[in-house]
Structure 1
Amino acid sequence: MRAILRWAHVDLRAHRGEALFIVAATTGIVAALLLAVALFGYATNPWQRMFTQSHGAHVWIRTTPAADPGRLASLDGVEALSGPFRTTSATVESRGARAGVELRGADEDPPASGRPLITSGHWLTSDSPDGVVLESSLARALLAEPGDILTVPANGHSLTVLGIADSPEPRYRPGERAGTVWASPLAVERMGAVWSGQLTGMVLADPDDTDYAVQRAVTELGADAVRDVSDWRQARAEARGDTVLLGQVLVLFGLGALIAAALAVFGAISTRVRGHLRDISVLKAVGFTPGQVTRTFLVQHVALALLGAVLAGVLIQVLGGRIPGRPGEAVEVWQDLPGPPTALFAVPVGAVLFIGAATCLAAWR
């Protein structure tokens, strides 16, 4: 083993350019794979992205106006509350389309937890007392954009659309689920509506304890005070159905790119090993067995690949979020998701193992 390590060290010193190239190539390949994983999660799981960026609530509880949802903050496992928000039901009309909505009282400052993500326009302001913000699926159903006017058929009152926002909550479904409209309390009072309930979101320390948290919340408030409960799993299951085809397409193209990269790496390693045929002959002449020759090249390439993989992981972890555009945003969101620690370990390890296998095959041949 000492002879193997000594020759590997001498060879690396004699061929520093090749060693640096292998390290750089491995770093680039692993970094590209990590970026691809981040972009894949960003594109195929928009619900998780929205949930992470908005610090979404794991449980939403609708209660009567007389309930005191603030007591939920003292329950074990509850990190924060979103709300409570006063709510009331209404019907709005825009460009000939009607929709049942839930008007949700909101302040000029968006909530810290369960925060809507503005995609166009802006949030509520005191300068527009009749201004509202529409959830994006409701806006699509009403064909509404910032600046449009919504009409309340019940009394002819007009509401101005200030912005459109994404939310990880269950989306609008005509005839099944009302759409969400964020409005200032003044706007609701000006249209003559009466608050009919409250909505409170609970951010949990452990999402796996959702069922237990719901039971505790209902017990704390009383079954008579709770009208409806929904959790993050329902919204996630609903949203995933829309991205299955996109995920399959991206996986297909990703596998093709991965196979191409694997062939390129294998070809590069094979070429380098063949370039050492004279050295291999010398090693065999001084008594190296085929197994020792294989281990010699394996030690070299695994060490270089490991160095490149570690560099790639560090670069993505430290500088990935600074990449301009969607890739940087995808890395920032991806780092906050449950999966990144696993992927950040699995991708470099997989690359090193593949390089080791390719080296063994080429050296043995």
Structure 2
Amino acid sequence: MRATLRWAHSDLRTHRGEALFLVLATAGIVASLLLATALFGYATNPWQRVFTQSHGAHVWLHTDKAADTGKLADLAGVDSLTGPYPTAATTVSSRGSRAAVELRGTPERPSADRPPIVSGHWLDPSTPNGVVLESRLARALLTEPGDTLTVPGTARELTVVGLADSAEPRYRPGEQPGLVWALPSAVPDPGGQVIGLRLTDPGDTSYVVQRAVTVLGSGAIGEVSTWQQARAEAQGDNRLLGQVLGLFGLGALVAAGFAVHGAIGTRIRGHLRDLSVLKAIGFTPGQVVRIFLLQHLAYALLGALAAAGLAEALGSRIPGRLGDAVGVWQGLPGHTVALLVIPAAAVLFIGIDRDQTGGGVPVPQAGREGGEGLPHGGQRL
């Protein structure tokens, strides 16, 4: 073992540039895979991105106006409340298209469940009839900031000042009304109110809903929507996109595998003379393989740890969409698992590839060249 360590140390001093290159190559591959994972989650799961950015509520309760929703703050498992906001069901029309909507009176932009603005701006008291539309509803109505909505059967007009994304169940014609945020003055006759619950443990959603029904009474609650329902609907809409990007991600993994295989194979072929010398001085083929295997595993482990640390600490600071993707990815449930599994899988792949390459091709070749290339016809071991 001492001879192995001494040779490895000597080889490191002699080939510092090659060692640094392998460490940097591994770090680059692992960092690329981590960033690709972040982009994949960002692109294929827009609902999770919106939910994380808006710090969305896990449960929304639509109740009657008389319900004392303040009691919900004392429920076990409830971290915070947003609302209650007065609501009114109505219909709006724009350019010949109609949609059922829920007008939600919001005096100020909430700190929790804060809808990310897509275009335009948030509600402004200087525009009392201004409204912000959920983005999917706006696409259905072919509406953008500056347009005017009418309320059929009345003389009311609403001015669209902004569009925003929402992590709540999205507009579906005939099934789910669209969401329209407005100042309380634009909701003159509210038919009820809505309150959002942010939970300490999202897995306790069903239990908290049961407790809320018990506290407020079943007759006081008209509708309940949960984050699981909204996520399931959104994921169904983006399943094809996920499959396409997943196919490209698989291709990237295969390309990275070939790159690692080529780099390791090239380095081993460049050390055939060293392998011959090791065999001539008494190292067995198995010991030679283990020396190079341990070397490459050490380089790979160092590069993988460096890549994971840098991605975790600095990834969200990358300018542009990539930094946003990493920031959102760090808040997703599977972030920690991916941060551990991807570097570990890369190191394991390099170890397997190195063992197969070192044991299958270069070492026997070094054995054949070792006896011919050494003085006095060195004996093959």
Tell me the secondary structure at the aligned position of residue 344 of structure 1.
Answer: helix
8 Å CA contact retained: 2:60, 2:226 = yes
Q: Distance in 1 between matches of 2:178 and 2:261?
A: 54
State which of 340, 346, 349 in structure 2 corresponds to 1:351. 346
Equivalent residues in 2 for 1:269-308, closer than 5 Å? 269-308=264-303
2:238 is matched with: 243
Tell me the secondary structure at the aligned position of residue 112 of structure 2.
Answer: coil
8 Å CA contact retained: 1:91, 1:154 = no
Equivalent residues in 2 for 1:250-269, closer than 5 Å? 250-269=245-264
Tell me the secondary structure at the aligned position of residue 241 of structure 1.
Answer: helix
Matched, 1:200 2:195: yes
- Displacement of 1:2 after TM fit? 2.1
Matched, 1:148 2:157: no
1:95 is matched with: 95
Letter aligned with residue 45 of structure 1: N
Equivalent residues in 2 for 1:39-118, closer than 5 Å? 39-108=39-108, 110-118=109-117
Letter aligned with residue 133 of structure 1: V
1:229 is matched with: 224
8 Å CA contact retained: 2:57, 2:112 = yes
Q: Distance in 2 between matches of 1:125 and 1:137?
A: 22
Q: Distance in 2 between matches of 1:335 and 1:260?
A: 26
Q: Distance in 1 between matches of 2:259 and 2:117?
A: 43
- Displacement of 1:188 after TM fit? 2.2
Give the TM-score, by structure 1 length.
0.97
Q: Distance in 2 between matches of 1:112 and 1:3?
A: 64
Letter aligned with residue 67 of structure 2: A
1:5 is matched with: 5
Structure 2: tracts of 5 or more residues without a match = 361-381
Structure 1: tracts of 5 or more residues without a match = none
Letter aligned with residue 24 of structure 1: L
Matched, 1:185 2:184: yes
From the CA coordinates, give the structure whose radius of gyration is larger: 2
Q: Distance in 2 between matches of 1:267 and 1:114?
A: 49
Give the TM-score, by structure 2 length.
0.93
Q: Which runs of 4+ in 1 moved over 4 A?
A: none
Tell me the secondary structure at the aligned position of residue 67 of structure 1.
Answer: coil
Q: Distance in 1 between matches of 2:285 and 2:40?
A: 42
Q: Distance in 2 between matches of 1:31 and 1:2?
A: 34
Equivalent residues in 2 for 1:101-140, closer than 5 Å? 101-108=101-108, 110-140=109-139
Q: Distance in 1 between matches of 2:161 and 2:287?
A: 72
Letter aligned with residue 346 of structure 1: V
- Displacement of 1:311 after TM fit? 0.7
- Displacement of 1:114 after TM fit? 1.5
- Displacement of 1:77 after TM fit? 0.7
Question: Residue deviations 1:296-339, cap 9 Å, x none?
Answer: 00111111111101110111111111111111100001011111
- Displacement of 1:282 after TM fit? 1.1
Q: Distance in 2 between matches of 1:247 and 1:127?
A: 43
Matched, 1:32 2:27: no
- Displacement of 1:204 after TM fit? 0.7
1:22 is matched with: 22
8 Å CA contact retained: 2:87, 2:187 = no
Letter aligned with residue 131 of structure 2: V
How many percent of aligned residue pairs carry the same amino acid? 66
Letter aligned with residue 122 of structure 1: H
Q: Distance in 2 between matches of 1:178 and 1:363?
A: 64
Tell me the secondary structure at the aligned position of residue 197 of structure 2.
Answer: strand
Letter aligned with residue 66 of structure 1: A
8 Å CA contact retained: 2:117, 2:164 = yes
8 Å CA contact retained: 1:86, 1:196 = yes
1:165 is matched with: 164
Letter aligned with residue 100 of structure 2: G
Tell me the secondary structure at the aligned position of residue 187 of structure 2.
Answer: helix
Q: Distance in 1 between matches of 2:209 and 2:184?
A: 28
8 Å CA contact retained: 1:82, 1:113 = yes
1:338 is matched with: 333
- Displacement of 1:154 after TM fit? 2.3
Letter aligned with residue 188 of structure 1: V
Q: Distance in 2 between matches of 1:155 and 1:228?
A: 27
Q: Distance in 1 between matches of 2:258 and 2:290?
A: 22
- Displacement of 1:261 after TM fit? 1.4
Letter aligned with residue 148 of structure 2: I
Q: Distance in 1 between matches of 2:252 and 2:33?
A: 10
8 Å CA contact retained: 2:86, 2:187 = no
Corresponding residue pairs, total: 360
Q: Distance in 2 between matches of 1:5 and 1:106?
A: 69
8 Å CA contact retained: 1:8, 1:299 = no
8 Å CA contact retained: 1:4, 1:295 = no
Tell me the secondary structure at the aligned position of residue 48 of structure 1.
Answer: helix
- Displacement of 1:223 after TM fit? 0.9
Q: Distance in 2 between matches of 1:61 and 1:2?
A: 69
Q: Distance in 1 between matches of 2:216 and 2:187?
A: 26
